[in-house]
Amino acid sequence: MSSKAQRSSYLFFLSYRTRWSDNDQYSHVNNSIYYHLFDSVVNAYLLQQCELSSHSAQIGLVVSSHCQVSTSTNFFSPVSFPQVLDLGLRVVKLGTSSVTYEVAVFEQGRDVPAAVGGYTHVFVERASRKSEPMAAALREGLSRLLSVKESLESKL
């Protein structure tokens, strides 16, 4: 994630109202909740824009994940209940059977993310769990989240 990530870098958004139970003993959203947020925005997009359903023959398995809330060179702000968050989604790499997502967690009305993370899905046939090329509608939907810069880099 670039320290210059901005709201305009993300192409799909989902609002999330934090819950009291999202906070930990330090009164901010617990680290594990970020992964719930990532899962929510990715799956909302797959269901709404890529023709996937809970009965699809093809499913995505998470093979890697990451979340950056703060580092020594970048400080991202903590979020907590009762904030409303905007979850921004984009695709940073689109392969034949895999996709890597980046999710930014924005406080509502802010242009700089509080946290950035994501994960990689490998798409498999539901019954056999064997990797296979993405269905056309899935690939088309995901390609709409691929920025021009990432699209050019993935072809190199």
**Residue-range domains of the chain with CATH:** 7-144 (3.10.129.10)
Three-state secondary-structure class, residue 10: coil
SS3 category, 15: strand
Tokens of 75: 């400080």
Per-residue pLDDT tens digits of the chain, which is 156 residues long: 444 678 999 999 999 999 999 888 988 888 888 899 999 999 999 999 999 998 999 999 999 988 876 543 344 778 999 999 999 999 999 999 999 999 999 999 999 899 999 999 999 999 999 999 999 999 999 999 997 555 444 443
Q: Roughly what angle, to the nearest 10 degrees, separates helices 31-49 and 136-143?
A: 120
For the whole model, what pTM was predicted?
0.86
